Chains A and B, each alone.
Chain A
Amino acid sequence: MLALCCVSFSQNKQILYGFSEIPQSLILNPGGEVNNDWYFGIPLLSHIHINGGTSGATIYDVFANDGIDFNTKLQNAVNKMNSKDFFSINQQLEIFSGGFAFGRTYEKNEYLSFGLYQELDVISYFPKDYAILALEGNQNNINRVFNADHFSANAELISVFHVGYNKKVNKNFTYGFRGKIYSSLINLNSTKNRGTFVTELGDNNFYNHIFDLSLQLRTSGIVSLTEDSSEFETKDLTKRILFGGNLGLGFDVGFTKKITKQWTLDASLLDVGFITHSKDVENYSVQGNYNFEGINPFFPETESGQTADEYWSEIEEDFEELFTPDTTNTTYTTWRPIKFNTSINYAFGKKREKDCNCIKDESGYLNAAGLQLFAMSRPKQPQIALTAYYYRRLFKGLSAKAIYTIDSYSFNNLGLGISANLGNVNFYLMADNFLQYKNIYNAQSVSLQLGFNYIFSKNED
């Protein structure tokens, strides 16, 4: 199975996807079905999303109060993980959002939505070889090639302003797209490290130490914060959120296609976009090759009358040249992680209401079940997850969705979400990985989304 070969989770909001009672589901598929006339999100409370995860060791693995020596647990955790294991944090906070239907008055089939949200996204792969070198040194690792690419990390704090258009072409087909302006507040990017370090048995001496390194860390928005003379204030942060950071552009597209009365197919592609980092940029790089076999103090190879100290100074200079990072302020571009969602859905179980003859197609069925696929680009390899779900309208204004998600490290991810309407106020709450909540510190992934909206639907009974 495809999902088996790749680790996953993170920004997968599998419960919210397709949950059309909740306006924020349009963020996951701009071509999703809309069943309100207008809405606005309660500012700062309309969408709160938190997700943290590790594909490797958990907090409990390392910090359990179990009498085992901390360093033993740390060593075990290091041994257990490989360089494809990662830690990730994703957090979103919607600052404001809204949407309204428009078009011909008797059948408003177009919908415009917009909003501004803040997003923090951090991913760091486990730098296995660096950890081994730090833990053990090279003495017991002669001939072991230490890979520089094991260090790979990206952290970004951005704000996203977006406007989306959605059109229901006919009762069987809806499409939509969304334009996005990104404003990056902070970015740290070190995903292009290459090279190796190895200690081999030497020809002239015990060892030959071979450095072949190409390391790179790119930052934006950091220097102004960390400088001693920094005059950074909160108002500068506000400015960066409102297009004052490093800017980028992106888009989302999506559709929903009704195949039969009961079968529906939908898909979306999100965050196809980039950010150009030109302001407040500082990049560091270490590049070069060096072989060190030791020094020959009495008979320098050059035989140019060089003293041993001159010879040694040259080696020191070479080392310094290799390891002193070059600092540049070159503009760079980062790509946003692209997300792909698709699902096939089957609706069933008609509502039996004797006193109502106004059943709409969309609301005619009480149940739905389906399969969803989520994929997302990441620095080393894409993350993929497959979800099976069951959706049920419990009673008027209250619906729930239960999910089961699989990926390579977890076959027991159960989640649940509810959406409740109390008058015009909509509230939703969803979380996954329920089985891991029995010891949250041992959870490899914890995800929570909640929010409040004010929704007006004139088609409601």
Chain B
Amino acid sequence: MIKNICFIICTSFFVLACTEDIDFDQARDFEINPVIESSLVFFNENANEFLINGNEISAFQDFVIVDIFNDQFIIDNLVKTEFKFETVNSINRDFELQVDFLDNNSQLQHTFTFIQEASTNNNDVFSSYTETFEDVTLEALKRTSVLIFTLRILPGQTINENSLGRIELKSLAAFYFNIRDDS
């Protein structure tokens, strides 16, 4: 008896309640495309910083070990990367920055170099450079675990204690993701 009443009343409730067409399978189309930008390397040094004991040092090199590019999330979802550089030079010398990408076994996967022109009158000379990683180069980036930075002051008028000007470099990395359900 109780069950019958309950059944009748409950069903009438749900008969009264209607639905319109919905499709939960759409969730499989879920896709987001965030772009994360992060500061990378920088420096801002006067001409006399390129001297040791009064003698010009024309090349600086250092490396960093990074494991972020081998992270599974990055490998699965990163679809494009850009390294953007902006440089300002007021020293009367060209300079170049070279970035090498090495894998775990110190094998070179990728490299690029860009040149900033000299400033003949010690006024600021601006330059910018973008390295884009897509497809093959992106795969190379995902194998990278060591970055080597090399800064070279290219041949020209020797720098001494009295040389004017400075070199400034700013950079960022833009990571383009495509996150979706690939199952």
Inter-chain contact A71/B32, CB cutoff 8 Å: yes
Contacts of A204 on B, CB cut-off 8 Å?
42, 44, 170
Inter-chain contact B62/A297, CB cutoff 8 Å: yes
Inter-chain contact B63/A440, CB cutoff 8 Å: no
Counting chain B CB atoms within 10 Å of each CB, the highest count among A138, A140, A297, A429 belongs to A297
Contacts of A441 on B, CB cut-off 8 Å?
19-20, 22
Inter-chain contact A137/B43, CB cutoff 8 Å: no
Inter-chain contact A439/B42, CB cutoff 8 Å: no
A59 CB within 8 Å of chain B: yes
Inter-chain contact B171/A206, CB cutoff 8 Å: yes
Contacts of B51 on A, CB cut-off 8 Å?
none
Interface residues on A, range: 35 or more
Inter-chain contact A438/B18, CB cutoff 8 Å: yes
Contacts of A74 on B, CB cut-off 8 Å?
30
A280 CB within 8 Å of chain B: no
Assembled-state Cα–Cα distance A74/B2 (Å):
44
Interface of chain B residues 1 through 36 with chain A (CB within 8 A): 1-2, 5-6, 9-10, 13, 16-24, 26-27, 29-32, 34-36
Given contact pairs A206-B171, A296-B41, A309-B65, A64 touches B21 in the complex (Cβ within 8 A):
yes
Contacts of A209 on B, CB cut-off 8 Å?
38-39
Assembled-state Cα–Cα distance A163/B6 (Å):
28
B52 CB within 8 Å of chain A: no
Interface residues on B, range: 35 or more
Inter-chain contact A63/B24, CB cutoff 8 Å: yes
Whole-angstrom distance between the Cβ of B98 and the nearest chain A Cβ: 12
Inter-chain contact A308/B149, CB cutoff 8 Å: yes
Per-position 1/0 for A232-258, Cβ under 8 A of B: 000000000000000000000000000
Inter-chain contact A206/B27, CB cutoff 8 Å: no
Interface of chain A residues 48 through 94 with chain B (CB within 8 A): 59-60, 63-66, 69-71, 74
Contacts of A295 on B, CB cut-off 8 Å?
40-42, 64
Inter-chain contact A71/B20, CB cutoff 8 Å: no
Whole-angstrom distance between the Cβ of A29 and the nearest chain B Cβ: 25
Contacts of A420 on B, CB cut-off 8 Å?
5
A9 CB within 8 Å of chain B: no
B172 CB within 8 Å of chain A: yes
Assembled-state Cα–Cα distance A293/B169 (Å):
13
Closest chain A residue to B168, Cβ basis: A204
Inter-chain contact A138/B36, CB cutoff 8 Å: yes
Closest chain A residue to B45, Cβ basis: A299
Inter-chain contact B31/A71, CB cutoff 8 Å: yes
Assembled-state Cα–Cα distance A308/B34 (Å):
30
Assembled-state Cα–Cα distance A207/B40 (Å):
9
Inter-chain contact B9/A429, CB cutoff 8 Å: yes
Which one of A128-136, A214-222, A389-397 contacts B? A128-136
B177 CB within 8 Å of chain A: yes
Please pick, from B22, B39, B40, the residue contacting A60 in the complex, using a CB distance under 8 A: B22
6 contacts between A and B (CB under 8 A): A63-B22, A70-B30, A134-B34, A199-B37, A308-B62, A427-B2
A interface with B by C-beta (< 8 Å): 42, 59-60, 63-66, 69-71, 74, 133-140, 142, 199, 202, 204-209, 292-299, 307-309, 312-313, 420, 422, 425, 427, 429, 431, 434, 437-442, 448, 450, 452
